[in-house]
């Protein structure tokens, strides 16, 4: 396949990853191409659907299966913004896809696993597209880390509080300060 076509298809996959980012998902996008036509495209939906297999690659494969009315995707090529996980690689292998182009690498130094046999995994050469895919993922994980740091700090603050009395409408709390002294606070129950 020509380099320009590979880059054009990867740009479509990156646009799918941006959709996932906007929906607060891990930003991975995938498309499936057969006979130079995009037959399916998808992005991660696992967190919003609470379905563990809703990875971009598997969702795109399911859409392609339905469109072609066939579970075999012979002569199809998958483009994805992140190197597929082992679960996705198993589904890719079972669906008979022979070539997968990906942008961002998973940074693993493993030998070829059983699920990778009979499928050729090729990282694209365009550094701009690779860095765009990597940036989406890094930005999402920075957001998640910041969110979890805030949550952990809030939990830590709440651990130092003890409820000492409860009357309808009010909760009386005290904080234990570093010197062991107690400070009393009156808070309305809706703010706790």
Write the DSSP symbol of residue 109: -
Separation between Cα atoms, residue 23 and residue 46, nearest integer Å: 11
- Check 16, 25, 54, 57 and give the catalytic one: 57
Q: Say if residues 93 and 115 touch (Cβ distance below 8 Å).
A: yes
| CA-based nearest residue to 82, from 60, 62, 64, 63 | 60
- 124, burial (CB in 10 Å: exposed 0-12, middle 13-18, buried 19+): buried
Q: Say if residues 121 and 108 touch (Cβ distance below 8 Å).
A: no
In angstroms and rounded to an integer, the radius of gyration of the C-alpha atoms of the chain is 24
Separation between Cα atoms, residue 9 and residue 133, nearest integer Å: 13
- 80, burial (CB in 10 Å: exposed 0-12, middle 13-18, buried 19+): buried
Examine the residue annotation and report whether 154 is marked as an active-site residue of this protein: no
Alpha-helical runs (H) found in the chain: 3-22, 46-49, 56-68, 86-94, 127-159
Catalytic residue numbers? 57
């Amino acid at each position: 396949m020509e380099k320009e076509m590979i880059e054009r298809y990867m740009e479509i996959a990156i646009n799918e990853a941006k959709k996932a980012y906007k929906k607060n998902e891990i930003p991975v996008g995938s498309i499936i191409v057969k006979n130079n036509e995009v037959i399916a495209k998808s992005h991660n939906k696992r967190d919003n659907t609470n379905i563990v297999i809703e990875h971009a690659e598997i969702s795109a494969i399911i859409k392609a299966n339905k469109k072609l009315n066939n579970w075999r995707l012979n002569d199809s090529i998958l483009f994805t913004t992140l190197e597929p996980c082992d679960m996705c690689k198993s589904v890719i292998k079972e669906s008979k896809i022979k070539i997968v182009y990906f942008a961002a690498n998973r940074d693993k130094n493993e030998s070829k696993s059983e699920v990778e046999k009979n499928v050729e995994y090729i990282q694209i050469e365009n550094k701009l597209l690779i860095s765009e895919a990597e940036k989406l993922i890094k930005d999402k994980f920075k957001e998640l880390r910041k969110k979890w740091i805030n949550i952990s700090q809030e939990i830590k603050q709440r651990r130092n509080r003890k409820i000492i009395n409860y009357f309808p409408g009010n909760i009386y709390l005290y904080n234990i300060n570093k010197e062991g002294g107690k400070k009393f606070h009156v808070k309305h129950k809706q703010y706790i």
